[in-house]
Every structure is written in structure tokens, then in C-alpha cells.
Amino acid sequence: MTQNNVAQPDYERYGRRGYAEAVFCLGKTVDQVRTIASMWRQRSVDSDEALGAVLFTRASTPQLDAIREELGEVFIDATASLGAWPAEPPASSGGRVVVVCAGTSDLPVAREAALTASFLGRAVTEVVDVGVAGLDRILGHLDTLRSADVIVVVAGMDAALVPVVSGLVSCPIVAVPTSVGYGAAFSGVSALLSMLNSCSPGVGVVNIDNGYGAGHLAAQISAPRSHHA
């Protein structure tokens, strides 16, 4: 039986798209993560092309330890289970990203979105625990919302924050359902469906708990126009 390596990183992605491939660590062994980290380090030695910031998402503590051992100085955020290499985000350019989350329990996903957008080069503002059950909380942040070029809304359960925010602003919304809740929340399905059916148009939805994807999309939406035109 003929076998090849465990991974083929898409090194050219930064050159092609402007954003590097991330390493999704969930379901990989610590050794596999370490091997992939070392492949990136080797590539940075072997090639003089720019590689961009490599993110390690959904990384467990042992995986993050292995990444640090392999790559040296890395950025690590325990709330978001995220590592980044190099450890500093690039200088921000393009528009402004605002990340809003409905409750404290949505924070890990919101943080993953915020950090991803930051490491992809955007200025980011985080607004936490502003669910619509107490409407004054979100209305109190109206200036921040209207200053955004794109807003990431992170919410579980009824996800009612999405149409409320969308109806108040002109910029696009990236909506991230979370698996917060129980019973008929169905691990995020309730929020996902609610978001897909937002009565206010202008909402693009990503996978349940996919803070990374939301931050990536927000960074693209708010990219400097010269970047993609």
C-alpha cells in the first residue's frame, strides 16, 4: 500500500487569496498538529514568499503546547481556543469590524471571530451580553453599531438580536449561531434557522459556533477596496 504525508498545507493561499489557510485542530492528534506546525515553520525557512498569519483553531491545551514548542513565540487565547503565528496581528487596514454577542455564554465564539478578523488585518470592537430581552442594552450601543463596516452578531437560542441589529444599520451582518442553550435549541439549530429566516435582509450566516469563519468573512467584507478590486 502506497501512503503519502499526513497533510499538504495550501501554502499558496495567502498569495492567492490574501489570507492564509488555518489549521483546524479538532479531530487531529497532538502529533498531527505538531507535524503541521513544523511544516509551516519549514516553509517559512524554505521560501521567501509571504505566508500570512497562520491560525490554529479549536486547539486543546496539549495542542497549543505543541504549537508553542514547535513555533516558539505564538499568540494564544484560552477563551477562544485559538493560537496564532506570528504572535502579532498585522497593522489594521480597511474598514471596522464590530462583534456583538447576545450573552456571556456566546463569548468563546465571539472572541474567535474578533481575533480572526484582527489577525487578518482589521480593527475590531467587541460588544458583549446585549440580548433583546432588555432592549435598552443593544440600543445603548447604537453609535458603535453605526460606525461599523460590518457587524458580526453571535447569538444562540432565538437569535433575535440579528434582525434587530440588522434593521438598525446599513452595513452587512455576518450572523453566527451558537450551540448555547438546551432542549429545543438543538445545539444551535434553532438559532441557525432563525438567522436564515431573518425578517431583515442583509444577513449572511455561517456554521454554528464558527467564529473563525465569521471573522474571516467579516475581514473580507471590510477589506481595503484596493485589495480586491
Restricted to residues 96-115, the positions that interact with a copy of itself (CB under 8 A) are: 96, 102-105, 107, 114-115
Contact 161, 131 (CB under 8 A): yes
Q: Residue 172, Cα to own-chain centre: how many angstroms?
A: 16
CB 127 within 8 A of CB 148: no
Count other Cβ atoms within 10 Å, centred on residue 4.
6
Segment 135-154, which members bind a copy of itself (CB under 8 A)? 135-137, 147-149
Exactly one of 130, 145, 153, 154 binds a copy of itself (CB under 8 A); that residue is 130
Q: How far is the CB of 39 from a copy of itself (least distance, A)?
A: 11
Query: In whole angstroms, how large is the CA radius of gyration of the chain?
Result: 18
Q: Confirm if 161 and 129 have CB atoms less than 8 A apart.
A: no
Identify the residue whose cell numbers are 455561517.
206
Interacting positions 31-60 with a copy of itself (CB under 8 A): 32, 36, 58
Positions in 61-90 near a copy of itself (CB under 8 A): none
| Segment holding 36, helix H or strand E | helix 30-46
Stretch that binds a copy of itself, among 41-49, 62-70, 80-88, 182-190 (CB under 8 A): 182-190
Nearest distance from C-beta of residue 5 to a copy of itself, angstroms: 7
The footprint of a copy of itself on this chain (CB under 8 A) covers a number of residues equal to 112
Query: Least distance from C-beta 42 to a copy of itself, angstroms?
Result: 16
Nearest to 119 by CA among 51, 210, 65: 51
Report 193-222 residues binding a copy of itself (CB under 8 A): 193-210, 212-213, 216-217, 220-221
